[in-house]
Amino acid sequence: MDFQICFGLALLETLITSALSPTHEALSDLSTSKALVFLVFFSVQWLVIKFYRVFIYPYFVSPLKDIPGPEDNHFFIGQLLHLYRAATPIDQYMSWSATWPESPFIRYPILANKEILLINTIEAHKQILQTKCYDFVKPKFLERLLGEIVGTGLLFAESHEHKKQRRMILNVFSVPNMKKLIPVFQQKAEEMTTFIERKMKENGNGNLEVQKIFSKATLDAIGVAALGIELENLRSEELKLDFLQCYFRMLSQPPLSALISFIHVHIPIRRFLPLEANWGFMRAMRGVHSMLNQCIEERIRDLKSTDREKVGGTESRDLLTYMIEERELQKEDLTIADIRGHLQNFLSAGHETTSGALTWASFVLATRPEIQNKLRDEVIQNLGTFGIPNYNEIEKLPYMKNFLQEVLRLYSPAPATWREAVKDVTICGQFLPKGTQLVLSPPVTNRSPRIWGPDVLEFVPERWDALASDAATPYATQTFGNGPRICIGKSYSLLAFKVMMVELLRNFRFSRSPRLEQLGDAPMPVQNPAVTWRPRGGMTVHLEKITWS
């Protein structure tokens, strides 16, 4: 917008200046003179507007200027350095929320003093996510942060297009379809058990880094659910299609690569930076695109000549097959790139959510033996020591449900996401002009002492048996979001977690590794900056095989 204003004004001023100037100059000199005059007018106006935007508007004119927020801002870059240097991706948010607990929003500046609002209260979350959901969209810069890793697809669809795409793939996540996936989850859980036992024999001491193991298991499961193929990450050391290598390269970035990604969110530098830290990320991203394109093209050819695939003896409608069939039946205008975007959403978010929950659950089990024992007792008493549990049996494990909810409350996979107002809107009495950008950070409500009480940071599964006041509302937990844009794969992730956790509890006893012993009661260090809530350096726990008589 600023560019168009400056260009139009400079052009008009150049024409006026030319009309008032003598006309006896040579034609070439006249053209050069006009160009120079235009450049001078444009440059001066550009600098004036930018000075106004950066140093005057946020402090004296903005309708957001009276919203409370931090004052320890750096010149020109606001809070960016503090956010980057924080111990975790949410430290600053949680500190601000504690300072201004009653304010619907907290205002802080970033690059060029651009104003950002942190959504801070349950009512503000409700209005933005439910009441006025489609008055807000995902800002373009978010595609630079998340789109590279998790694709576009439903995640970045808006308004009518979002409703249409969500309706198209919602049936894939229906309860009947989820029930059909239980044998798949069980198979992958058993393969995970075999893989862990092999690794325990190899290292001889039972101390295993489990985060990568859980990623292999959940990616194998989602390979069947989304692509209808066996990735076989757990069956061999070699990674079929290299999916895991690519995703680990993008999600677990070395420090310089993480810094580049952090900067790229605010200044699009990715395509122009000739550094290996950047090229490695780009190669991984292009590798994922290439592999998914190949899967899509092969499935399109297969469906023209064969029946749908069979999984576990029942008809499977994996996401890829479903979208291709819907494209043909409903004449949907879905390109290969569109289908790939949906697959990336599900592959990335689905496996990362489940593997992350399993990773943090293993931390709790290793450090809280009383919780581990209670969970295992419930599993053995209701499901026995082996066999495939059915859907109803799994859903009737109350302590398992409470345990999972507490894991996701304290260790929300996504530290933050963003929204942008597409028109002028009023939320909780605060006027937000079109273009206002907001941060939605799940821990702001998930870890709020005002909502959950003074023991908010303690792991207490029993709290879910007697929720009261604000804690009883859906908006007290934002792990999967809420409203029309709630995570479509929520039921998939919860069910996959439960099936795999049952198998782990049947087969292994968790305890502290030397690293966790050294950590003591201190919180587990996490990566920052990071797209997801991941333990720094992985999660190493001690495992002991259980033998049932």
**Domain residue ranges of the chain, discontinuous segments joined by +:** 2-124, 149-545
Q: What is the mean pLDDT of residues 58-85?
A: 93
Q: Quick one: pLDDT at residue 239?
A: 44
Provide the pairing of β-strand 115-119 with 437-440.
parallel
Tokens of 305: 């000549």
The dihedrals phi and psi of 509, each to the nearest 5 degrees, come to -110, 130
Is residue 400 over pLDDT 60?
A: yes
Strand partners, 109: 115
Q: Quick one: pLDDT at residue 40?
A: 83
CB of 417 closer than 8 Å to CB of 533:
no
For the chain, report the end-to-end CA distance as a whole number of angstroms. 73
pLDDT confidence of 546, banded at 50, 70, 90?
Answer: very high
pLDDT tens track for 474-492? 999 999 999 988 888 889 9
CB of 80 closer than 8 Å to CB of 266:
yes
DSSP H or E segment with residue 125: helix 122-126
Is residue 20 over pLDDT 80?
A: no
Of 72-76, 186-190, 198-202, 311-315, the range with the lowest mean pLDDT is: 311-315
* Amino acid identity for residue 165 in this structure: Q
- Please tell me the distance from the alpha carbon of residue 42 to that of residue 492, in angstroms, as a whole number: 54
Cα–chain center distance at 278: 21
CB of 111 closer than 8 Å to CB of 77:
yes
Q: What percent of the chain has pLDDT over 90?
A: 50
Half-sphere exposure of 157 (CA within 13 A, CB side): 18
Q: Higher-confidence residue: 130 or 386? A: 130
- Please tell me the distance from the alpha carbon of residue 146 to that of residue 538, in angstroms, as a whole number: 21
pLDDT tens track for 346-373? 777 777 889 999 999 999 999 999 999 9
- For 131, other C-beta atoms within 10 Å of its C-beta total 11
Is residue 22 over pLDDT 70?
A: no
pLDDT tens track for 421-477? 999 999 999 999 999 999 999 999 999 999 999 999 999 999 999 999 999 999 999
Q: Quick one: pLDDT at residue 149?
A: 61
Q: What percent of the chain has pLDDT over 70?
A: 87
- Please tell me the distance from the alpha carbon of residue 29 to that of residue 449, in angstroms, as a whole number: 71
> Which SS3 state, helix, strand or coil, does residue 427 take?
strand
* CATH-assigned architecture of domain 149-545: Orthogonal Bundle (1.10)
Q: Higher-confidence residue: 147 or 183? A: 183
CB of 94 closer than 8 Å to CB of 443:
yes
**For the whole model, what pTM was predicted?**
0.84
Q: What is the mean pLDDT of residues 56-68?
A: 95
Q: What is the mean pLDDT of residues 510-515?
A: 96
Cα–chain center distance at 541: 25
Task: Identify the top-confidence range among 72-76, 119-123, 245-249.
Answer: 119-123
CB of 41 closer than 8 Å to CB of 18:
no
Nearest by Cα to 536 from 5, 86, 216: 86
The dihedrals phi and psi of 244, each to the nearest 5 degrees, come to -65, -40
